A and B are shown apart, each in its own frame.
Chain A
Amino acid sequence: MEGSIAEMGKFIGAGLSAFGMGLAAIGVGNVAGNFLAGALRNPSAAGGQTATLFIGIAFAEALGIFSFLVALLLMFAV
């Protein structure tokens, strides 16, 4: 490492953006957990809502992927 401040900033920024992935994990867990809680209450209605579950998970996960993308961009592209 040559000790450049900008270099250090990139790594710090990439590390910080990794927090976003953990937060997205909380979001995905929230969606799946609530779906499971609802499905156990009313199992007959659960089957028709799997599509909604996956859409919800996809939306929650996309934001985590965005933070991963920020990390990648900081590491390799900026």
Chain B
Amino acid sequence: MNLLGGQARQLRLALQQAPDHAVGRVVAMLDGLADRSMIDEVLNSVRPRLRRLQPPRPLRLPRLLFLPLEAALVPAAGWRPGSNLVPRSAITPIAALVSGALPDLAEQVEAGTVGHSLTDHAVVAALGARLWPAASMVATPQVPRGWVAAGLPESAALPILALCAAVWRQAVPLWQARTAASAGAMEALALARAALAPLVADGAAPLSAGLTLLLRAALAPGQIATLATSLSAQIHPVAERALASMLADDAAAVAAATSPDEMAQTAGLLARRLADLEHTANALVRDQRQRHAAILRRDTGQACHARFAAALVETLLVPLARVAAGPRAEDSVVAMLEGAARDLRRLEAAGRRLGQELAFDRSLRDAVAQITRLAATPAGLNRIEFARLVEILAGPDAALALQAEPG
């Protein structure tokens, strides 16, 4: 597929305006195309949404090859020579170089990826363990075929290949550390040390790429940043920049969430990371981090409460009032109401961790009072079902209070 400029613009515009479910479908279709030369440029416009939506993306050799370098990849338009980063336009020529130098392995890896996506973590780890170390051996100083045609200067080939080779040499331990860090596993820090320590000798660019890869995935990035700084003091500004950028992305994801459930997930992640960053801050960065955290907490906490208050009325109280006044509710209706209450509870729990506790308390108190009034003359639901809604929303003690009300 070769997209002309006008078509690419139209597709980019359409993607930007498309609803979430449609973006996932279109991206899946584009991912299925063999020639990605223009696709990456089109997808750049929706990458922040893709990070948030995480649609299943098919596993292919080039994507697998560059997974450990994810944090160093930038859109070609934003890349500058000497930036210690890798333009996305370099993926195709470098992947071709690796496939050409390792034809048997490339064929086996391609066969192994068929039918799998990036979310098949075991497949990614197993195929990566074969591909990455081998790729590091063939990424020797040269100008890959198709490099200049991809719009890249010849002089950039050597430093970019050196960066790739250094990261691929450590890619297996890096990926293990990333997996553990994203799950918040206890062994994450030890694995991160094992992965990052050898990168120190390779210079700032590979260490920065490896560290950023771990930070972006980690539930506790502060611990990993502290570890990296202890390995190399020079990496400190890079770590702080990466942390600030990660938090900004997290906060943006909270603001952009399109449902209470998604907002709960994104806010929960942000709250966890903020707590870790404040906990691990040393005297040098404590004030700066606390100021940044306070601003993020205030803004995202307010956003969570605003969404909570609106969704409480829209998804629970209004439908409940209608159901309460009607005939005995169908099972599906009760499931819908309980599902809404659970989404709200998740959002409230995550939002509380960011602040606005009094506001959440007030909203919950009002909601429970309203449900209790409806339960006084039960029709569509019985009292136990009203009590269950209150229990899901505000806990068992509030539900007991409803049950104790005369009625």
Answer yes or no: are A and B bound together in one complex. no
